[in-house]
Every structure is written in structure tokens, then in C-alpha cells.
Amino acid sequence: MTRHPRLQLPLLFALATAACAAKGESTTPEDTGPAPTAGAQDIRTTDLALDLGALTGQATLVVVPSAGKVTLDVAGLTLSAVTVDGEAVAIDITDGILSLPAPGTPDPVTVVVAYAFPARTPATFDGWMPSLGVSFVWPYYCSNLFPCDPSLDDGVTFTMNVTGVEDGLTAIYPASTHGDGPAYMAAVAVGDYTKLDLGTTTAGTTLSAWYLPGQRALEDATAGTAHLVSAFDYFEQTYGPYNFGPEAGTVEVDWGADSWGGMEHHPFFHVGKFDFNDEEAQVHEAGHGWFGDGVRIACWEDFVLSEGTTTYIAAHALEQVDGPNEWDYYVDDFLTPICEGNSPDPTLVNTIVLPDTCNEIDFVNDDLWSITPYMKGACFYEEVADVIGQDALDQTLSEFYTTHVGEAARMQDMIDLIESRADAADKPAIDALVTDWLLSYDCPENYAERCRTHGN
């Protein structure tokens, strides 16, 4: 998710106050955050057939059961039929969790769920919003659109087919995500779109931009994607192959009056209409194909692994391809208000960005959901590059990505790898940077100069 506070603030408010919609054969509970994880359960694939006009769907899931059952979050859905390996089963829902028997086999089973999903509003911002023509289920509201496991450790490959779209409009969604990603990655946007072909990377990934009508629509799309192909190419050549298919691109979305920032719905990531001309927003969302989606975070407390890493590689890639320098922008517009504590914007609140727990926080109501992990995380990496060299850091990021792509990992795993690949003489300096930027509430002395000044 892009770091822009003008997007973060309305979404923080909306998600903190949202409640789950009605669901089949159960009472709607208060929204208490993510559903419980299901142990060794593994949702391998999810095929979604969504009719946006009728507000109905059919989900076909291939699932490795846990302890003889399959559990799915369906808290926002009204179920009409469920089968397991072709056999109809009773719809048993408790506190929004559908429990299905799958006894006697460790092998994958095929679960088919027919259901209706609600038309959500911008006030809740947690499902399909027909008034805006866009879905949004981050961080753990996937059950307002499809049966899912929102826990971070269970990645899934999606296939999708969307119907019921009004004549004259286009639905933008991936027919397949090709590789495992978090449950919140699946999305659809519907509008009067025009497709702008951007080009193809060295590895053969074709990039496009879909933009909405407007007086300056083409100019904004062209400006915002000026270095997108070259930055995407840098990610592929430097960190490793893109995991979500041969085609990717950016989709302009209308999130209402607060259409700033973006969301990492790979392979077709969403960027708000007011930021569609912003190169950093575009490259940041592209970068989540490597960190955040390509490598998932294992715990919400690892948010900095997604956002701090992506903020750094976005600025770094833009530098490498002769794009704009973003470090003054990061420091002056975000880091300084965070560190000085003088901003009325609640997304610019200081906090420790690497808590020592795992999935024990109420994420949407915690200070960790703020701009701080983006900025402190990016500054941490920038100073690590000063210590060990940018090329060495790039090599370490590549090793981390290629080791963990399609999996969930922790920020401590990244720290451990950085230290294991550094010279012994550099390890005390890296330890100090971990303390200064990730483990301390107060910003380090001379934080602005340290973050914006590159040593090599």
C-alpha cells in the first residue's frame, strides 16, 4: 500500500468503524479483526466467478485440510450451497467461520461455495463498492467478497472471471495471478477505461496503464508511468523474476474524494486518480510485486518488511533509471513530522516499527498502521546501503526474495540475512541501525541528514 497519508487517513477511519455484513445462517458478529488461522490448512488455489450485477459468486477452492476439516472465513457472505469433492454438505457457520468436514485424507479437497456478497459503501471501504466501481478487501476483509483465509501465512493463487458489468464499461482483473499471494491481493476495478501500452521489460513482462476519462487523463497516465517499465525491469533484473505472470500494469481507481496513494493488487495494481501522475506511487505499488505480495509478511508486526522495503526499493529504482529523487520528499513531507511529533495527521504518528510480537496487535487500530514503518524502514535500508554498499544490499534483497518468493517471512529474517552477508566489521553498525530505526520509538539524532544523504 502506498504511503500517502491522504489515502491512509480515510481508510484507517473506514476500516476501524466497519462491521461485517450479514451472512448465511449465522448472526453478524462485531468486527474483531482477522479470523483465526487454521493451522496446517493450505488453500492452494481459489477460482472466483463473480457476477457484479447480481452480487453473486461461486468460489472453487483447492484446499489441504487441517485435522480433518476445512475452515473458511465467510463473515460477509450469504451462502446458498456448498460441496466438498462434489458432495453437498451442510452449511455450518459459527462466528463467521464455515467449517467443513474433510475426514480421512491429507490430500487436497475441492470446495465449491455458491454465495451472495454485499454491495459495500465508501463509508465502510471493505468489499465490492459499486458506487466507486472498485473492490478493496485489505487487510483482512476478503470475506466480504469471497470465502477465504485472511491469515498472512496462507498464500493463494487466484483465477478470476467477472461478469455482470454494465455495457460500455470495462472490468480490469487478472484471469490468473499465476503465483501465490496474500488473500487481499485479488481485486477488480470497473470503469470507462482506456488502455495505454507502456512496453515490455527485458524479461518479457508486458506493462500497461488503464486510465479513466478526464481532461488530463492521458497526460497524467503518461507522466506517472514515465519510468515504470524501466523501474519494473530493474526489479526483475536485480531482485528476481516477477511472480505474477507475463502481464502487469497500473489501474487508475476512483476512491472518492480521497483518491490518493495505491494498493498492491498484483498483477494489476490500483493507484488513486489524484496520484496517477505520481511516479513514486506507481513504482511503489509495482515494487510490492517483490515485497508484500511476492514475499508476504508473516505477522502484521512485520509490516515494515512490506512497506519499508518497498519504499526503499521504489526510491532506489527511480534513482537507478534516472527518475526523480524521492529522498527529500520522504524526509521533509513524512519523516520530519513523524520525528518532531508536530503533525495533526494521525498517520504521521511515531511508533516502534518492529514490535516483538506476532499477530497480537489489532492492526487497523494500532499506530503501526501509519506512515512510520514506510519511512523508518526506508531510512534503515538506505543507511544499510551506506554501510555495506548499494550493490551488496541489492544482492541481499535478491537472495531474500528468491528464497522466500511465494512464502511468508519475517523482518527478523531479513535482518539476519543482511548481517550474515555483511563483513564482521560492519555488523556492529548494522546492529545500531536496527536499534535506531526499527526498535526505538525516538528517531535517531540527525535523522533527516542521515536518511537523505547517500554515502555511496
- Residue 129 phi, psi dihedral angles, 5° rounding: -115, 90
- Asked if the structure places residue 109 within a domain, the reply is no
- Asked if the structure places residue 441 within a domain, the reply is yes
Integer Cα distance of 44 and 320 in angstroms: 37
Is residue 311 within 8 A of residue 305, CB to CB? The reply is: no
Q: Which residue's entry shows cell 513531507?
A: 333
Residues 6+ apart with CB under 8 A from 301: 354, 355, 356, 357, 358, 359, 360, 361, 368
Is residue 255 within 8 A of residue 233, CB to CB? The reply is: no
What CATH number is associated with residue 433?
Answer: 1.10.390.10
**pLDDT confidence of residue 453:** 83
Q: What angle do CA 141, 309, 377 make, to 5 degrees?
A: 100
**pLDDT confidence of residue 428:** 98
Q: What angle do CA 248, 258, 31 make, to 5 degrees?
A: 85
What DSSP string runs through 352-387?
-SS-S-SS-S-GGGSTTSSSHHHHHHHHHHHHHHHH
**pLDDT confidence of residue 13:** 35
188 half-sphere exposure, CB direction, 13 A CA radius? 27
Integer Cα distance of 93 and 79 in angstroms: 10
Rg (CA), the chain: 21
The C-alpha cell of 403 is what? 528464497
Three-state DSSP at 289 gives coil
**pLDDT confidence of residue 15:** 36
The strands making up 127-129's β-sheet, listed across from edge to edge, are 127-129, 134-136, 189-191, 170-172
78 half-sphere exposure, CB direction, 13 A CA radius? 8
- Asked if the structure places residue 307 within a domain, the reply is yes
What DSSP string runs through 47-64?
EEEEETTTTEEEEEEEEE
Integer Cα distance of 343 and 327 in angstroms: 19
Is residue 135 within 8 A of residue 127, CB to CB? The reply is: yes
Number of domains in the chain: 1
> What pLDDT digit, counting tens, does each position of 171-182 carry?
999 999 999 999
Integer Cα distance of 93 and 35 in angstroms: 13
Q: Which residues of the chain have pLDDT under 50?
A: 3-38
Total residues belonging to the chain: 456
- Asked if the structure places residue 338 within a domain, the reply is yes
- Residue 403 phi, psi dihedral angles, 5° rounding: -75, -35
Residue 322, Ramachandran bin (φ over 0: left; ψ between -120 and 50: alpha; else beta): left
Helices (H), 250-363: 279-287, 303-320, 327-329, 336-340
- Residue 66 phi, psi dihedral angles, 5° rounding: -125, 125
For residue 246, give the DSSP letter: S
Structural domain of 390: 298-452
- Asked if the structure places residue 388 within a domain, the reply is yes
The C-alpha cell of 83 is what? 460441496
**pLDDT confidence of residue 103:** 80
Q: Virtual CA dihedral for 234, 239, 243, 245, nearest 10 degrees?
A: 20
- Asked if the structure places residue 228 within a domain, the reply is no
- Asked if the structure places residue 70 within a domain, the reply is no
> What pLDDT digit, counting tens, does each position of 293-343 carry?
999 999 999 999 999 999 999 999 999 999 999 999 999 999 999 999 999
Q: What is the pTM of this model?
A: 0.93
Q: Is the peptide bond before 267 cis (omega within 30 degrees of 0)?
A: yes
For residue 183, give the DSSP letter: G
**pLDDT confidence of residue 393:** 98
- Asked if the structure places residue 126 within a domain, the reply is no
